[in-house]
A and B are shown apart, each in its own frame.
Chain A
Amino acid sequence: MDGVADMGGTRGWGSAHPPKGDEPVFAEPWQGRAFALTLLSTRVSGRNIDAFRHALERLDRAAYLDDGYYGRWLNATELMLTDSAILAPGAINARARNLRGEDVAEPPIPEPVRPDYAPTAAGSLRMVDTPPVFAVGQRVRARNLSQPGPTRLPGYVRGHAGVIDLIQPAAVLPDTNAHFQGENPQYVYSVQFASRELWGPDAEPFAVTVELFESYLEWAS
């Protein structure tokens, strides 16, 4: 989905930070708890990892950025839980206010509406009966799709031509799986793009590979 989450090539984020070797896994205890709550809530809400990633994409800019990485996870988890009516909108903030000593009414617990949907197997890899449409070395173009829903087609490669570098196993298509509209497994291709194709003649010389689902691709001459 177009939005703040699709960051590849966007400007205005400042300098990269040199790595710190001794960084703790969770800088603050709540971050570990938010991480574990996300993993468990995905199941509680009857959703899946693609729905979680789409929940991240649907956050507004402030909810995505202001509380850092695990704040973003917390906000997306709240969205999944309210989408499945496990929690009422505003329930977390009301409880948080009460925890800090305010006296606010909490919304009633809604009737859960979990998606009537289950994976056909564990994980995301699937077998498909047909052979891959594209072969290693062929030139392809990333289709210029800008759909409002979930997709794993980053904006910066749309409309650009590259070469099939590797054929990866077929996997569940996030675009439909995130909306509980079927797994529609497809082959995934690592497509290699030249930097000057993506960023123009003055770009640094390098290549970038992007994993693209078969339906994101078309033939290029």
Chain B
Amino acid sequence: MTTSGSAERISPALRTEALEQLLTERGLIDPTAMNEIISDYETNVGPLNGAKVVAKAWTDPQYRRRLLEDGTAAIKELGFSGRQGEHIVAVENTATTHNVVVCTLCSCYPWPVLGLPPSWYKDPAYRSRIVREPRTVLAEMGLELADEVQIIVRDSTSEVRWLVLPERPAGTEHLSEKDLVPLVTRDAMVGVAKVEAP
């Protein structure tokens, strides 16, 4: 199939508009449903959800245990579930073990806790190289790991989705769960960054 191989190139924006028109004029899709999906992923389903999970796990040892034992159930306790979150496994990054997540075959990503994947996650350079030279790739992305840190790359090839529980930064012992939430970044929950103290 060569949809983009025609002699005169048509922009994806125009092709998207054409597709939307073709389906809505036949009543096959409802524009309201479309707008609801877009708005949901722009405003509700994003990395703030995951940050709440992480901050709770950092401050509530019982919750942390439940999260690492059954990620899906613990995440659902906070009200997060849905598409691309049928089975979520949480893994903990520590001073000696560093997990980092990829999908080499497409772009599988835990939507209910992190939203839609950022551009670097979908980039061929990341998808191809993180399973071959992760220490080098992480350094290119700004994360230098000590030689003794063991790296485990999680390639999401099935419907299992991975959430990294980042290491709680030193110097945040006095902070409450609520104060910790804004420190937790999407990138740390995929494993390409660490959480920094404020």
Interface secondary structure of B, over-half rule:
mixed
Bound CA span A190–B83, Å: 21
- The residue that A37 contacts in the complex, of B16, B46, B151, B185, with Cβ under 8 A, is B16
Which residues of the other chain, A, contact B26 by a CB distance below 8 angstroms?
109
- The residue that A16 contacts in the complex, of B12, B129, B157, B159, with Cβ under 8 A, is B129
- The residue that A34 contacts in the complex, of B4, B16, B131, with Cβ under 8 A, is B16
Contact size class for B? 35 or more
Which residues of the other chain, A, contact B132 by a CB distance below 8 angstroms?
8-9, 156, 198-199, 203
Q: Find the A residue at minimum CB distance from B161.
A: A211
Q: Beyond A36-B37, A71-B12, A207-B150, is A62–B4 a contact (Cβ under 8 Å)? A: yes
Which residues of the other chain, B, contact A37 by a CB distance below 8 angstroms?
16, 19-20, 23, 29, 34
Q: Is B96 interfacial (CB-CB < 8 Å)? A: no
Contact B128 A8 (CB under 8 A): yes
Q: Is A74 interfacial (CB-CB < 8 Å)? A: yes
Interface secondary structure of A, over-half rule:
mixed
Which residues of the other chain, A, contact B33 by a CB distance below 8 angstroms?
36, 40
Contact B105 A154 (CB under 8 A): yes
Annotate B117-141 by CB proximity to A: 1 below 8 A, 0 otherwise.
0111011111111111111110011
Interface residue ranges, A against B (CB under 8 Å): 5-11, 13-21, 23, 25-30, 32-37, 39-41, 44, 53, 56, 58-60, 62-63, 65-71, 74-75, 77-79, 81, 86-87, 91-93, 95-97, 99-100, 109, 123-125, 152-154, 156, 166, 168-169, 171, 188, 190, 192, 198-199, 203-213
14 new A-B pairs (CB below 8 Å) besides A15-B140, A35-B37, A99-B14?
A8-B155, A30-B16, A44-B29, A59-B3, A62-B2, A92-B3, A123-B159, A124-B86, A152-B158, A156-B104, A171-B87, A188-B159, A204-B133, A207-B153
